[in-house]
């Protein structure tokens, strides 16, 4: 597994490893990845909870780098949806959140 490193837009110092994962996936994995794509694209609090349940139930079938990225998206989304205090810059958190979503959608197998 190779790790290409890319910067998250607007952060300057934040770096996320982007892994190349084998494209050999079975039909069940394709169905799981399709469901993940749909839930990530919906981008609501309910979708985050469904996504967390889906990942937990299928963690053996989801490639580890995808699990890490999905879990990061879930955690960051939960922080954003819980109306974080004003002293945190919510715009930066949302930018990071949407960038992680984009990276995942771009890398997930079709």
Transcribe 14-77 into DSSP letters.
-EEEEE---S---HHHHHHHHHHHHHHHH-SHHHHHHHHHHHHHTTTTS-HHHHHHHHHHHHHH
Residue 58 confidence (pLDDT)? 92
In the predicted structure, residue 54 carries a pLDDT above the cut 90: yes
pTM (2 d.p.): 0.65
Which of 4-8, 63-67, 75-79, 102-106 is least confident?
A: 4-8
> Is residue 3 a contact partner of residue 17, using CB atoms and an 8 Å limit?
yes
Number of neighbours of residue 96 by Cβ within 10 angstroms? 20
């Amino acid at each position: 597994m190779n790790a290409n490193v890319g910067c998250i837009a607007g952060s300057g110092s934040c770096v996320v490893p982007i892994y190349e994962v084998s494209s050999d996936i079975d039909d069940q994995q394709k169905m799981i990845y399709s469901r993940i794509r749909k839930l990530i694209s919906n981008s609501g609090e309910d979708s985050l909870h469904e996504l967390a349940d889906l990942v937990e139930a299928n963690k053996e079938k989801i490639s580890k780098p995808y699990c890490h990225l999905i879990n990061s998206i879930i955690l960051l989304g939960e922080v954003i949806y819980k109306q974080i205090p004003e002293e945190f810059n919510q715009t930066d958190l949302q930018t990071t959140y949407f960038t992680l979503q984009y990276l995942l959608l771009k890398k997930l197998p079709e």
